[in-house]
Amino acid sequence: MKSTFTIFKNKIKTTIPLKYHVVFWVSYFIFNVIRWGSYNNDFIYSLKSNLIEFPIHIILVYLNIYYFIPKFILKDKYIAFILSLVTALITSYFLRLGLNFIFVSNEIWISMYSTMPNQSMFNHFISEFIGQIYVIAFASAIKIIVEWSIEKKRNEKLSQLQLSTELKFLRTQVQPHFFFNTLNNLYALALNKSNSLPRLILKLSNMMEYVLYDVTDSKADLLEEISHINNYIDIENLRFKDKIDTELHITGDLEDVKVPPLLLITFVENCFKHGLKGNDKIIIKMNFEIINKKYLEFKISNNFNPLAINNEKKGIGISNSLRRLKLLFAKDFILQPSINNDIYSIFLKIPVR
């Protein structure tokens, strides 16, 4: 079985290393010896009395931190805590007087009143009581602050891990969703025995390589994302032939600009999902603009079929993107969809690195 000392050592090492406990008590001991020795101009007596009293100080402090607080304060038993602490303080007071009388000096009462001759025993008890409270409160405050700091860091790490896990989950949703739509395109071309099928398969292979192997970080180059979007549009062009009309405008320097991967393509996919109206063309306009090298403003608009929105199954793309934006940027982003004369537009503003 483990010894009491081993259990105690393991207990205090959970937050503050043992060496810091030793440094604290040695420093406080030296301070106390000098302080009381200067009051009475008797450093030998101060050294002896502190050697007797300090183990009691230490026991009281750790009794409060590792027993009274967990057993009473953390369980909302405040009256029991006060009664236990007061009992311990009274017991320690008389224990210190007795030990000082036995081991230090049989003139302890004279020494006790040397600095305050008119002090009664009750006043002396009160001053000693307050002094003990001070030591306990000071040491407990250090313990609580350290515990709070460690817990804060632990919670921050857990939050980061949770954020990272959820973002990875959302990205895994994006990829199957994207490939599902593209495979539907392949199926349609295969049914028609289209000559465009080999080129589409090659394009899809390039896209899969980007999604599965190139996108490995929480940020991706904006230029690569735009290339990925263009690749996707090329696939849709192969499917719909001359029914797609796209415009792309870039303003500002996009070099070294980073954005969340596979975020913007969701809005492009949405254009094709709801863009066809009979034999009409899908008209898509995209604009990328860097604002003060701090923000990306992405604007995309397309004509759409209101019946397609009402009749088709609701996808996960837009809701997924909104969730990702909230996780990544909290409130530091703008996502504004709008509809005007069968033109669906999205304005997105996000921070860039």
Which pLDDT tens digit goes with each residue over 285-330?
Answer: 999 999 988 999 999 998 876 665 544 444 456 777 888 888 888 8
What pLDDT score was predicted for residue 152? 83
What pLDDT score was predicted for residue 3? 53
Give the residue-averaged pLDDT of 228-246.
81
| Least confident stretch, 18-22, 151-155, 303-307, 327-331 | 303-307
What pLDDT score was predicted for residue 309? 54
* Domain definitions of the chain by residue range: 4-119, 173-351
Smallest CA-to-CA distance from 305 within 267, 268, 278 is with 278
Residue 177: exposed, middle, or buried by beta-carbon count in 10 A (0-12, 13-18, 19+)? middle
Structure tokens at 148: 């709070």
Architecture of the 173-351 domain: 2-Layer Sandwich (3.30)
| Top mean-pLDDT range of 123-127, 212-216, 223-227 | 223-227
| Top mean-pLDDT range of 11-25, 32-46, 105-119 | 32-46
For residues 94 and 280, what is the distance between their CA atoms, to the nearest angstrom?
Answer: 97
- The answer on pLDDT for 185 being more than 50 is yes
Average pLDDT, rounded, for the chain: 79
Cβ pair 347, 334 in contact under 8 A: yes
**For residue 281, what is the DSSP state?**
P
pTM (predicted TM-score)? 0.55
Long-range pairs of 57-64 with CB within 8 A, sequence gap ≥ 24: 57/132, 57/135, 58/25, 59/92, 60/88, 60/89, 60/92, 60/132, 60/135, 60/136, 61/135, 61/136, 61/139, 61/140, 62/8, 62/12, 63/88, 64/88, 64/136, 64/140
| Top mean-pLDDT range of 152-161, 204-213, 271-280, 329-338 | 329-338
Structure tokens at 264: 């913007």
Cβ pair 167, 324 in contact under 8 A: yes
Smallest CA-to-CA distance from 327 within 218, 175, 216 is with 218
pLDDT tens-place string over residues 29-55? 898 888 878 877 878 888 888 888 888
Alpha helices in 121-213 (DSSP H): 121-191, 197-209
Structure tokens at 304: 């759409």
What pLDDT score was predicted for residue 312? 43
For residues 24 and 217, what is the distance between their CA atoms, to the nearest angstrom?
Answer: 45
- The answer on pLDDT for 278 being more than 60 is no
Cβ pair 54, 32 in contact under 8 A: yes
Give the residue-averaged pLDDT of 231-248.
81
How does residue 106 score in pLDDT terms, banded at 50, 70 and 90? low
What pLDDT score was predicted for residue 277? 57
What are the two backbone dihedrals, phi and then psi, of residue 30, each rounded to the nearest 5 degrees?
-60, -40
Give the residue-averaged pLDDT of 113-121.
53
Q: Pick 44 or 123 by higher pLDDT.
A: 44
Alpha-carbon dihedral sign for residues 183, 185, 191, 197:
negative
What pLDDT score was predicted for residue 172? 60
- Percentage of the chain lying above the pLDDT 70 cut: 76
